[in-house]
């Protein structure tokens, strides 16, 4: 098992820049290439933005815990919140091929996370939501 990085933030949107810098550092230290670092940063940003907007309803007093670690050739990101539960099955796939006028505003976060990461899993067995995303490390 490689180095483990952990960060706990409040659910304020101003913290997203800090998260992006922290993810970049953890990903580079774990051996991800430039494209993989960018994909991971964007996926984590989408996840944290969704947590702030939906789990905590824009309130800045929630807690978001993020852990990144290398496990073999996998870069594993785990994000835990303690807000309202999220059911990914209730999210309809976006109409990415529809004309822009027919598309809903927003709703692409989960779609982007799944496109940028190799695995996206949700766990609701504890309190809140636990998201685990994996990026395969390729040289």
pLDDT digits (tens, 9 = 90+) for 26-79: 999 999 999 999 999 999 999 999 999 999 999 999 999 999 999 999 999 999
Tell the burial category of 105 from Cβ atoms under 10 Å away from its Cβ (0-12, 13-18, 19+): exposed
pLDDT tens column, 102-113: 656 556 788 899
The structural domains of the chain, with segments of one domain joined by +, span 4-136
Does the 4-136 domain belong in CATH 3.40.50.2300?
no
| Antiparallel, parallel or unpaired: β 4-10 and 63-71 | antiparallel
**What are the tokens at 46?**
């989408």
Element (H, E) at 27: helix 16-29
């Amino acid at each position: 098992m490689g180095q483990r990085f952990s960060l706990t933030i409040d659910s304020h949107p101003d913290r997203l820049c800090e998260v992006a810098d922290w993810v970049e550092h953890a990903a580079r230290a774990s051996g991800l290439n430039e494209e993989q670092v960018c994909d991971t940063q964007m996926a984590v940003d989408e996840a944290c933005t969704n947590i702030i907007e939906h789990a905590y309803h824009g309130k800045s007093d929630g807690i978001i815990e993020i852990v990144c670690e290398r496990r073999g050739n996998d870069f594993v990101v785990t994000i835990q919140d303690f807000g309202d539960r999220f059911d990914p099955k209730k999210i309809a796939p976006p109409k990415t091929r529809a004309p822009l006028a027919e598309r809903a505003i927003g709703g692409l976060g989960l779609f982007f996370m799944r496109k940028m990461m190799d695995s996206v899993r949700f766990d609701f067995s504890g309190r809140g939501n636990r998201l685990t995303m994996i990026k395969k490390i390729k040289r």
